[in-house]
Amino acid sequence: MSKISLPKYEELKRIMLVNAGINNMLPAECRSLSDRVYKKIGNRVSETTFKRIYGFAYSKYSPSLFTLNVLARYCNYKSWDDFSQKQEKKVASTNNNQNLNWQLLKQNANKITDFTLQALRNKSGIPYNHTIDRAFIDDHFDEFLQSGCTATILAAPAGYGKTIAICQWVEKKIAIDDLNDSNDIILLFSSNAIMSVLVSGRDIHDWMLALLGYNTDHDLNVLLDIKQRGGSKFYLIVDGLDEHMFKGEGFKVILNQLIDIFSFYQPHDWFKLVLTSRSATWINNRHELEVGNNTWYTGFKDSGSVNVPLFNLNEIKILCQKIKPGTENSMAINVAENFNHPLYFQFFYQQHKDNFTLANADRVCFYDTISTFIYNKVYLGHYSAEKILLIKDLVEQLDIENNISQINKLALNNIIKKHPHAYQELLSVGFIRELNESNTYQYNTYIIFGNKNYLEHSVAKIMLFNNGNLLDADLVKTINNKLGSNQHKLNILKWCIIHAIKSGQLKSIEYVTDIILSTNEKSELITFLGEVLQSEYSSSNRNDALMLYFKHSFSEKLFDYFFGLELINSDYKKFLGVLLKFELSNRKKILIHSTLAIIAAIQLDLSELEVSLAELKTFPKGEYESFPVNPLNCLDAIYYHLKYGIIKTEALADIAQLNFNPGLASGLKVSATNDIIYLLALHTSILSNNPKKVLRFANFLKTHYRNDVSEENTIQYGFFIKTVTANAHFELGDTQTVTDLYHSVSTAYKENDELLTPYMRILLHNLKIKTLINTPKENLIATEMEAVGSIAGQYGYNFTKLYISAIILKSLTLNKAMPKLYEQINYEFNTIISKYKLNAKLFLQTIKV
């Protein structure tokens, strides 16, 4: 059989759908189409063949003459030849003496583009009608057309949404052109169509022209005829042109043919070439593509190779609303950022189609999404074992101790040769990428993981594999020694914890206390651990081992690890709620409820504070005898003072008794939980309105509890001691000591900023403001207050902001020096007072912490 005419074949496919009454061709329609053909003419064309015909399955060969005859007969023609002859007559009568014109080219191009659009829409991971318009694509094309360049590229790693973006732009462009009677031609192909050309042995240029209606004896006069074309443009768009799609030298053949087309049309400003590809493809081949000057518009920022941005927060919200209108999709910013990758968002959607919402999504959902991707793309399918072996070799070649994530390809070349198919599959799904950074003096081709999530997952899995899949002391030692201060350390540890919990190694969680982490990393780890345990506890298929684990109390070491005033934030509050699901001693429950009450006080949530106090009052009085200071009395005093302006003296009496009877504190071991009780007592002592008593109790703690608050050994406990004593000196008017304390704290943390958690950071800003009040540097207060407002707004530290605002409002000199700032702070102060129904005089008459 001679080669078929592609325009006629495309027209027959279109007429097939018209006769079948199918407006929107989907994979599911292929079976019904097969049945309809059989019922009408008695010949069977299989469902699989129809999937090949309409681009839902890869087709290596052209359709057989039998298939073409059956399709033609279904469309009421005698045969394929009969259809071809009638099409030729139809074209001849339309073409004005067989001369092609621009309008006919546009009609033929529209048919091809419509078909390509439909095929690409059907491959969307999220239903295409739920996808959103993204502003970046319009901006990119506007800048491209203004640049005068001949070609442009949309380049990004796998899963960034390049295909959906180009489909949306093409649809909008066609719709606008129809409204404005524009004659621009858009010819859109997918990489699958290009592959079929490669298999057939044809030249892309000839194939493209044949699709547009040219025969071999026609020339290019229509495309080059200014009178017919006018000011119209011709857009040739090829979606998904990537190296991994082609075997052997196939990609180079296609690339060279596209470069020839580009070079041929480059002198004509009406021709525009648009490619979408992965960043690695552009990096590896830009030296071949960039022919001449001012030919390619890339739009890359900061010398990068990505011009397709991830979702921003607003786009995520719009997308959620479009998927499920009316659903509340408020979420924490740090959680939303995890789903800003379109591919991850797609997998999350596919996992939660029936009850889709991001409102309840947390970090665990994100890790589940990554796991689902790796399960589907790496662990399943052909060469899965080879892919895992190759990943193991990649991890072992990483210089992870020095934070180097690039692997020299030459070092792995022999290994790649052993698993070539696995290597290509990992490239194709974007799990790994190649970067060619060679120059005239040296060959530099690197292999990197597709993103940090794949790298961290792989490192964790290989570390576990090498340690018998156990989370134990040996693995902790390996993590501390090999990862050190590595930026990926915490997330690698998270994958190890997930593995331990999923595999029933629940007792092994205690080993995390020996991992060397910064304060912020520890805070994040505790939050994550709470979410994992909550997720497993709430799961409908939770295992017996987990339920047994919840019936046992934590060890003292692990329980103590979970406490610290520096950890306070809304996520920490949720974590403490998870701890209450365990079988705990009354003392541990009191510590948890006391910490929850402290958080409520800092956030000015008096109703929550009432709830915690009610819980604390349910415990027998004897349970509080083991505490050096009764936390219930302290918290009750704070509540009454905030709510009613009343100072209950029981707590102050306890503190005074301790001051004069140090034997009561003897033998009390140093621990994070005891730190919290003593710091609570120290803050409660401020209610005495006597800063000297506050300093006396601070000295008592230094003498009888722990003396590690010097500059040389500043820890979180010492930080809080210093901030409270600095406040006492501020009330006494000792500004020099306040300044000295601020400098000692800021200097200690300057070299390691990661030691400062958000709550510590806002207190440090407050302390700096105290050093600035009534000094020539009062103009710096505005900057510090902006930082205070930002942190308070994000983490809910309302009391802390209210307190420093009151101090500023008591400064008459600031009122005169900076009236606008004073007015703004006064407004924000009154807003908080009104919102939480507090007494403003309580804060303005007497300074409180």
Determine how many CB atoms are found less than 10 A away from the CB of residue 303: 5
Range(s) of the chain covered by CATH 1.25.40: 578-845
Q: Which residue has the tokens 């912020």?
A: 520
Per-residue confidence at 219, pLDDT binned at 50, 70, 90?
very low
* Helix 363-374 vs helix 519-538: crossing angle, to nearest 10: 70
Could you give the CA distance from residue 68 to residue 214 in angstroms, rounded to a whole number?
Answer: 21
According to the model, what pLDDT value does residue 94 have? 52
Bigger pLDDT: 62 vs 504: 504
pLDDT reported for residue 386: 93
The set of residues, in sequence order, having a beta carbon less than 8 Å from that of 810 and lying 6+ positions away, is 844, 847
State yes or no: pLDDT of 156 exceeds 50. yes
Per-residue pLDDT at 99 exceeds 50: no
Instruction: Please report the pLDDT score of residue 507 as a whole number.
Output: 85
Distances in Å between the Cα of 221 and the Cα atoms of 100, 133, 226, 229 are 9, 37, 9, 10
Helix (H, G, I), strand (E, B) or coil at 148: coil
Average pLDDT on 276-294 reads 79
Residues 568-577 pLDDT 10s: 988 899 999 9
CA Rg, the chain, in Å?
Answer: 35
* Mean pLDDT of all residues belonging to the chain: 84
Beta strands in 360-466 (DSSP E): 407-408, 432-436, 445-449
d(CA 475, CA 146): 57
Residue type, 595: T
pLDDT of residue 96 exceeding 70, the answer is no
Q: Which CATH fold would you assign to the domain 113-309? A: Rossmann fold (3.40.50)
Q: How confident is the model at residue 229, as a pLDDT?
A: 66
Fold of 578-845: 1.25.40
Least confident of 619-623, 685-689, 811-815: 811-815
State yes or no: pLDDT of 86 exceeds 70: yes
pLDDT of residue 658: 83
Q: In the structure, what pLDDT confidence band is assigned to residue 98 with cuts at 50, 70 and 90? A: very low
Tokens of 270: 């009406």
Render the burial of 525-560: b for 16+ CB within 10 Å, e for the rest. bbbbbbbbbbbbeeeeeeeeebeebeeeebeeeebb
Total Cβ atoms within 10 A of residue 294: 9
How long, in residues, is the chain? 849
User: Per-residue pLDDT for 331 more than 70?
Assistant: no
Q: Span 28-49, mean pLDDT?
A: 87
User: From CA 523, how far away is CA 568, in angstroms rounded?
Assistant: 9
For 272, the 3-state DSSP assignment is strand
The pLDDT of residue 663 is 66
Categorize the per-residue pLDDT at 143 as very low, low, confident or very high, splitting at 50, 70 and 90.
very high
CB 297 within 8 A of CB 149: yes
Task: Dump pLDDT digits (tens) for 458-502.
Answer: 999 999 999 999 999 999 999 999 888 888 999 999 999 999 988
CB 761 within 8 A of CB 754: no
Rounded CA-CA distance 772/762 in Å is: 15
Please tell me which residue, 99 or 628, carries the higher pLDDT value. Answer: 628
CA–CA separation, 499 and 495 (whole Å): 6
Question: Is the pLDDT confidence value at 198 over 80?
Answer: no
**Nearest-angstrom CA–CA distance, 471 and 453:** 20
Percent of the chain as helix, strand, coil, to the nearest 5: 65, 5, 30
What is the per-residue pLDDT for 847? 41
Q: Is 99 left (phi over 0), alpha (psi -120 to 50) or beta?
A: beta
pLDDT at 169: 95
Q: Where in the chain are all domains bearing CATH 3.40.50?
A: 113-309
CA distance 745 to 718: 9
Weakest mean pLDDT among 199-203, 503-507, 581-585, 755-759: 199-203
Please check whether residue 359 is in contact with residue 331, taking contact to mean a CB–CB distance below 8 angstroms.
yes
Residues in a beta bridge with 722? none
- Ranked by mean pLDDT, the top range of 233-237, 539-543, 746-750 is 233-237
Q: How confident is the model at residue 786 (pLDDT cuts 50, 70, 90)?
A: very high
Most trustworthy range by pLDDT among 42-56, 422-436, 710-724, 728-742 = 728-742
pLDDT value of residue 848: 39
pTM (2 d.p.): 0.76
pLDDT of residue 440: 78
pLDDT of residue 842: 83
**What average pLDDT does range 8-21 have in this prediction?**
83
Q: How confident is the model at residue 61 (pLDDT cuts 50, 70, 90)?
A: low
Q: Which of 116-120, 434-438, 680-684, 712-716 has the highest mean pLDDT?
A: 680-684
Find the mean pLDDT for residues 329-335: 64
Q: What is the mean pLDDT of residues 54-59?
A: 69
More confident call, 206 vs 737: 737
Q: Measured over all CA atoms, what is the biggest interatomic distance in the chain, rounded to whole angstroms?
A: 113
Q: Give the mean pLDDT of 821-842.
A: 91
Confidence of residue 721 (pLDDT cuts 50, 70, 90): very high
Give the pLDDT score at 711: 42
